[in-house]
Amino acid sequence: MVISFIMVGRDPTSAAMTWLFWLLSENDDVENKLLQEVEPLISLGLGFEELKEMSYKKACLCEALRLYPPVSWDSKHAANDVLPDGTRVKKGDKVTYFPYGMGRMENLWGEDCEEFKPNRWFDSEPGITEPVLKPVSPFKFPVFQAGTRVCIGKEMAFMQMKFVVGSVLSRFEIIPVSKHKPVFVPLLTAHMVGGLKWGNDGEEFKPNQWFDSEPGIMEPVLKPIRPFKFPVFQAGPVLKPIRPFKFPVFQAGPRVCIGEEMAFMQMKFFVGYVLSRFEIIPVSKHKPVFVPLLTAHIVGGLKVKIKRREVK
C-alpha cells in the first residue's frame, strides 16, 4: 500500500511535469498563453478555486500526458471470452494496452497527432469567451485508466501539477541546457533519460559547486553550506532529533514508515493553507474524545465554525 502511494502519488506526476516543461520550452506561443492564464491568479494564492479555473493549463497537461504518458503500457486480464469491442480472447488472458502508441494514432487524434497542440482539448479555439474543455473518452485517452479501474487520484494529480507548474512558471523561465530532443524511456514509470537539465537566464548550471571536490572516481561528498548563505529553506531554529523509539508514531528501525516526510509535507501544506484563510472555531467547548481504533479519531469528528481571515 505504501509503495503504491509513493509510486502513484509522486513518480507519474513528476514525469508528466518534466515533459511538459520541455514541451513548453519548445513552444513559446503555448508558454505565453499559459502565463496569461496563470499571472492574474497568482496574486490570489493559487487556491483550489483558482486552480479549477485553469483550463488551458489542464489542456497543456493532458497534451503532455498524451504524448508522453507516465505509464506507457499496462495490462489487464480478460473477464470474459469477448472484449467490449467484440475481439475474441479467452477468459483470463492477459490483455495489454499501449497509451503511448494510442496517443500517436492518426485515427484517434488526427494527422497532427505528433504535434504538441493543447487547443485540441477545447471544443473551439480559445478566444475572448471562456474556453471549455471538451469531454474525451478515457478509453481514447487511458492515461488514468478507464471504467471501474479509473484512477481515483486523477483530479488530485491535476491539482498538484497545476499548482507546481503555475508556481514555477510564474517565477522562472525554463531554458534547457541541451538542445537535443530528450529520450523517452518506457519503464514501469516512464521518464526522461538523465532528467531535464536546465538553467535560468544568464546563469550557468553548475551542480559540481555543491561538492568539496570535483566528482571523480571516488564518491563525491556534498560540502556543508550555511543556511544564511543559501536561505532557500530558511535559517533559524533547528528541530532537535528525537529517537523514533521514543516517538514511534511512524514506527522505527527497518520498518520505519518510508512516507514520513511526504506525510509531513502534505499536512504542512494543508494546515498552512487552511489557517492562512480561515479561523477555526470549535462549536463545542468540551474536550473531544480520542478513540484508539485501527486509525484513531475524534468521536463525532471536529464540528467547527469557520471565519474567513481578512487579507492584509
Can you give the pLDDT of all 312 residues of the chain as single tens digits?
444 545 555 678 888 898 999 999 999 999 999 888 888 777 666 777 778 878 899 999 999 999 999 888 888 888 888 877 788 888 888 888 889 999 999 999 999 999 999 999 988 655 545 668 888 999 899 988 888 888 888 888 888 888 888 888 888 888 888 788 888 888 777 888 888 887 655 455 566 666 666 555 456 666 666 555 555 445 455 577 778 788 888 787 777 777 778 778 888 888 888 888 888 888 888 888 888 877 788 888 888 888 888 765
CA–CA gap between residue 275 and residue 19 (Å, rounded) = 34
CA–CA gap between residue 12 and residue 30 (Å, rounded) = 22
Residue whose cell numbers read 533519460: 193
Q: Which three cell numbers mark 176?
A: 534547457
Residue list, annotated binding site? 151
Q: Return all residues near 121 (Cβ < 8 A) that are at least 6 apart.
A: 58, 59, 62, 63, 133, 134, 136
Helix H or strand E segment including 38: helix 28-42
3 state SS of 118: helix
3 state SS of 122: strand
**CATH code linked to domain 2-199:** 1.10.630.10
Q: Are the C-beta atoms of 122 and 132 separated by less than 8 Å?
A: yes
Kindly report the pTM of this predicted structure.
0.61
Burial class (CB in 10 A: 0-12, 13-18, 19+), 12: buried
Domain chopping of the chain, boundaries: 2-199, 248-308
Residue list, annotated binding site for heme? 151
